[in-house]
A and B are shown apart, each in its own frame.
Chain A
């Protein structure tokens, strides 16, 4: 392979990331999501006024990886905790980073009411259709027929119902200004994901209300696939159930220029 040395540094650690090795499994897209958020904080120059709220789940240690103030919530309660912070410090940028078990199962009340209130929060929702931290159990976003350690014969919709589509659900709340779904399965979609994350922070900066970006993510370890197979699984299996799209994007948000 030809090495091109232009003498220019083309890639470095974001200022908003700490010099810490993450605990994430090889091939997991949490790292990509972290990097996207950190780049946005850098580009918007808001690192020093940002407070993150970490969830319970695989990203429970997110507070170690971001170079900004952080708190660690109880399972599912990140939107409530973020609300408490934002109401006391409305001039700060407050975001939650939550997985599907945290946000769409145990924390359903907190996320829906934060959206209904139009809290000026940015929510990054990582949907990998499984409980990662506890070793691969069925999540509220697990696909019909998907095998997990608690749905060993595949998710039976007769018994356990259907995956919950959060970007769509959040979009119908009047307090929501921005609710979109993106995917992290290839470079093109990663770039689009970053644009959406940037927009979700721009919405908060302008005090336009509640903003959420759902990011389809991989879990090679618990899905039982290789890293590249996992990305293909997102494309072929998750996208038909969780279509990429802008589910809510109010006019003032559409008009945001940065």
Chain B
């Protein structure tokens, strides 16, 4: 396959098609809509199911039904639509069905805006729907990685009977860059032993998230947890850049991680021993790896496009051994490499938040940057 210029949303859609997707259900929402539009012609041309649902609530419940047949199914949306899908996601988790979902995150809360954001981290990584369950969450930082992780998402979903969410952002969804699509896989011919496809010459099957007896629900919760512990052992993924001799380790994922990479390279050009740790699986979180990095790091600098949602996870694993600093842009604003470079320089000369609260100093610095009118903050 040759590299071609591809838009993120379309690349994800076509990667899913080539991964053997049998059915897509979705609802238009910016900045994800091209994904749905691509599916609207591509799936019917291959004789596969595509349906634009009446709402995200309906879309995820169509996915729920289609997943019960054992088919490879997916949906995609952006933040406000993902909130609406949380009902269905909880049921899908409770029924232990493999489903892939793409969240092209935009600024929030509420209607917010249509610019790139990472504000959904907590909702996606730490659950979202009701009840005890875990999502596998993959965070691409380029169109190529979005393609690769989409294909991986289907395999992981089936291997662990799990929801896998590709958490992109408006930047990844909307930008175009050269990337290579995977070869076309055929639709699977053998369906799992739990699939509901009609009780022809066999006992009937039931798929449900109901366990009326609390002891049965407890066993189910335990089963999900034990499966999750296997996921934690086997599926943690991250990308390391210049970590061999790094003293200041920047941590960022997705678009923030990619911009941080530019800043880290610029810092190294200035002789600052900086490195980048980019989590690819936000869940399972590579916290153990981060904990081990405390041996060599003098400080961590977390970069996010939110108020520091992953920051709290990083701090838990660093456990106070070295300072953890933070820089974030909010509400759909994307940081420039220069801003992050300035933060790396600051940390490199030992300007560390004295009270262990990295948000306090960051808020003051950010106010100076964003306070155009002097009001509203």
Q: With A88-B49, A109-B54 in contact, do A72 and B210 touch (Cβ < 8 Å)? A: yes
A69/B208 in contact, CB under 8 A: no
With A and B bound together, what is the CA distance between A47 and B207 in angstroms?
17
B197/A92 in contact, CB under 8 A: yes
| Per-residue contact bits, chain A 55-66, to B (CB 8 Å; 1 contact, 0 not) | 000001001101
CB distance from A118 to the nearest CB of B (A): 12
Q: Which residue of A lies closest to B198 (CB)?
A: A49
B206/A63 in contact, CB under 8 A: yes
A48/B198 in contact, CB under 8 A: yes
B200/A71 in contact, CB under 8 A: no
Q: With A69-B199, A92-B197 in contact, do A83 and B210 touch (Cβ < 8 Å)? A: no
Residues from chain B with Cβ under 8 Å of A85 in the complex: 65-66, 68-69, 196
Q: Is A51 an interface position by the 8 A CB rule?
A: yes
Q: Which of B54, B65, B210 contacts A53 (CB 8 A)?
A: B65
Residues from chain A with Cβ under 8 Å of B172 in the complex: none
Q: Is B33 an interface position by the 8 A CB rule?
A: no
Q: Which residue of A lies closest to B53 (CB)?
A: A80
Residues from chain B with Cβ under 8 Å of A72 in the complex: 95, 206-210
Most-contacted residue by chain A among B59, B198, B207 (CB, 10 A): B198
Residues from chain A with Cβ under 8 Å of B53 in the complex: 80, 113
Contacts of B39-63 to chain A: CB distance below 8 A = 49, 51, 53-55, 57-59, 61-63
Q: Is B180 an interface position by the 8 A CB rule?
A: no
Q: With A84-B73, A88-B49, A109-B55 in contact, do A47 and B199 touch (Cβ < 8 Å)? A: yes
Q: Is B303 an interface position by the 8 A CB rule?
A: no
* Chain B contact residues: helix, strand, loop or mixed: mixed
Contacts of B233-285 to chain A: CB distance below 8 A = none
| Per-residue contact bits, chain B 80-124, to A (CB 8 Å; 1 contact, 0 not) | 000000011001000100000000000000000000000000000
Q: Which of B65, B73, B201 contacts A71 (CB 8 A)?
A: B65
A81/B198 in contact, CB under 8 A: no
Residues from chain A with Cβ under 8 Å of B210 in the complex: 60, 72
Q: Which of B57, B63, B71, B197 contacts A69 (CB 8 A)?
A: B197
B207/A84 in contact, CB under 8 A: no
B198/A80 in contact, CB under 8 A: no
Most-contacted residue by chain B among A51, A53, A80, A89 (CB, 10 A): A80
A83/B57 in contact, CB under 8 A: no
A68/B68 in contact, CB under 8 A: no
With A and B bound together, what is the CA distance between A48 and B71 in angstroms?
19
B208/A81 in contact, CB under 8 A: no
With A and B bound together, what is the CA distance between A49 and B200 in angstroms?
6
Residues from chain B with Cβ under 8 Å of A53 in the complex: 65
Contacts of A30-84 to chain B: CB distance below 8 A = 47-51, 53-54, 60, 63-64, 66-74, 77, 80-84
Q: Which of B57, B197, B204 contacts A77 (CB 8 A)?
A: B57
Q: Is A206 an interface position by the 8 A CB rule?
A: no
Most-contacted residue by chain B among A50, A77, A82 (CB, 10 A): A77
| Per-residue contact bits, chain A 106-135, to B (CB 8 Å; 1 contact, 0 not) | 000110010000000000000000000000
Q: With A74-B61, A85-B65, A88-B22 in contact, do A69 and B55 touch (Cβ < 8 Å)? A: no
Residues from chain A with Cβ under 8 Å of B200 in the complex: 48-49
7 closest Cβ pairs, A-B complex = A84-B65, A81-B65, A72-B208, A84-B66, A80-B61, A84-B62, A77-B61
Q: List 26 A-B contacts (CB under 8 A).
A: A18-B204, A48-B198, A48-B199, A67-B204, A69-B199, A70-B206, A70-B207, A71-B196, A71-B206, A71-B208, A74-B87, A74-B91, A77-B61, A77-B87, A80-B59, A80-B64, A84-B63, A84-B67, A85-B66, A85-B68, A85-B69, A87-B23, A87-B51, A89-B69, A89-B198, A92-B198
Residues of B within 8 A of A (CB): 22-23, 25, 49, 51, 53-55, 57-59, 61-69, 71, 73, 87-88, 91, 95, 196-201, 204-210
A48-B198, A110-B54 provided; 12 other pairs, C-beta below 8 A?
A: A49-B198, A51-B196, A60-B210, A67-B204, A70-B208, A77-B88, A82-B65, A83-B58, A84-B23, A84-B63, A85-B65, A109-B58
